[in-house]
Structures are given as structure tokens and as C-alpha cells.
Amino acid sequence: MRLYVSIGPNPRIVRMYAAERGIALEEIWIGLAAGENRREPFLSLNPAGQLPVLEIGPGQIIAESLTICEYLDETVDTPSPHLIGCDPFTRARTRMWLRRIEERYSQPVTASFRFGPGLAMFGPRLRCLPEAAEGMAALVRDGEAWLDAQLPASGFGASDMLTLAEIVLYCSMDFAINRAGLPPDPKHSALSSWFGRMDARVSAQLTKAHAKRA
């Protein structure tokens, strides 16, 4: 299977997921900064112009990070545990947390970056709302506070359990800290400690931005 990837937190989610599970994917790097994703031949592969994209056979394309991870979790067995879950209720809980993390944190982080520090790059490509940059950063803080309060109850970091929800939150936080200028407020100490533990994982180090796998 071929995985089309680029810089940015979304391709990293799939790369980190694959690294955790020991799934080997042939990576094809697309030049996001040069806009290769917004023109042919890439648009024929994914008319949404986004990365990552998984090609499982001729003309058989799956786009969207979490959709790709769902597909790999369903179809690929490795000695490492599945990261969405092995029964319907566990999968439902992982997906529930994924959606909460995306809505309250990942989405405003992305918007805050595109409408603010990333405006010079994204403005000519996408409709950006610079008037909303500050408000989106405030939403990031709200989401951070909510997740910090939920951490103990949700079991994040309470054991060696790792799910796709943790991978998505980690990739978004690393991007928030290192690209979007939104490091977590020190008072959200549960979240900061959790981030430190995630950042130490081999899969996190292997997939740091621009660190192409050999």
C-alpha cells in the first residue's frame, strides 16, 4: 500500500499510527509548500487537494487521516494491538474521544494557524478568516482546559493504553506548540505531563515534522 504524505499534522497521524502498529507503508512525499497538492496529477488522486491519501490498489483511493487509520485498524493484523479497539463498545469510546478532541482542540488549532501565523502560505490557497484568528486561539485555550479536566476520568495516561485518540491529540499539540505558537497554559499540568510522556515514544520521535522515514 502506498501512502501519499506531506508535512503537517494530518499525514503525521497516519505515519505515527503505522509506526505504533509496525505497519510498513511505501511513503510518497508531496511538496505541500510548493502547492503540488493543489494541482494535477495530485487532484485526480484526491479532488479535495489534501493529504494524506492511501492507495490500496489501482484506482482504489482512501483519503482523510482518520478514515485511513480506521481502514488499517480493520484490515491489518500485526503483533501490536489495534488502536481503535477490538470490540464495538471500545471502538465507540475511542471514536467519541476522537471527535471531542478534534472539535474542541485540533480544528481550532488548525484554523488559528491558517488564519494567523500560516496566513501567508494558506491565504492564496484557501478562504481564510484572519478576523477569526484570535477567537480561534481562545477556543484552543477553552478546549485545552476542558481536556485537562477530563484527562484523569478518561484514562489518558493512566496506563499503557494507547488509542488513536491519543495520537491525534499528541500530533495536534505538537503542531500547536511548535508551529502555531500555542503552547499549553502551564496551569493545565495534567495535559502537559501527558504530552511529555507521549513525546518520548519512539513513534513520536520517528515522525517529527520533516523527519522522513528512511
Q: Where are the beta strands (DSSP E) in the chain?
A: 2-5, 26-29, 53-57, 60-63
User: Residues binding a copy of itself: what is the number (CB under 8 A)?
Assistant: 35
Kindly report the number of other CB atoms within 10 A of residue 83's CB atom.
Answer: 20
2, β-bridge pairs = 26, 55
Q: Does 66 bind a copy of itself (CB under 8 A)?
A: yes
Q: Which of 139, 167, 169, 191 binds a copy of itself (CB under 8 A)?
A: 139
Name the one range near a copy of itself by CB under 8 A: 125-133, 164-172, 176-184, 205-213: 125-133
Residues 6+ apart with CB under 8 A from 47: none
Whose Cβ is closer to a copy of itself: residue 129's or residue 202's? 129
The region of 29-37, 56-64, 188-196, 201-209 touching a copy of itself under the rule CB under 8 A is 56-64
Q: Name every residue whose Cβ is closer than 8 Å to that of residue 199 and which is 6 or more positions away in sequence.
A: 170, 174, 205
Q: Smallest gap, in angstroms, from Cβ of residue 122 to a copy of itself? A: 13
* Residue 96 contacts a copy of itself per CB under 8 A: yes
Query: Of 23, 56, 190, 209, which one interacts with a copy of itself (CB under 8 A)?
Result: 56
How far apart CA 206 and CA 209 sit, in angstroms, is: 9
Chain positions 149 to 178 lying near a copy of itself, rule: CB under 8 A, are: 150, 153
Tell me the C-alpha distance between 131 and 115, whole Å: 8
- Rounded CA-CA distance 129/7 in Å is 22
Question: What angle (nearest 5°) sits at the alpha carbon of residue 174, between those of residues 169 and 178?
Answer: 155
Q: Least separation, in Å, of the C-beta of 113 and a copy of itself?
A: 15
Kindly list the residues in this chain that would bind a copy of itself in the complex (CB under 8 A): 47-48, 56, 60, 62-64, 66-68, 70-71, 74-75, 88-89, 91-93, 95-96, 99-100, 107, 127, 129, 131-132, 135-136, 138-139, 142, 150, 153
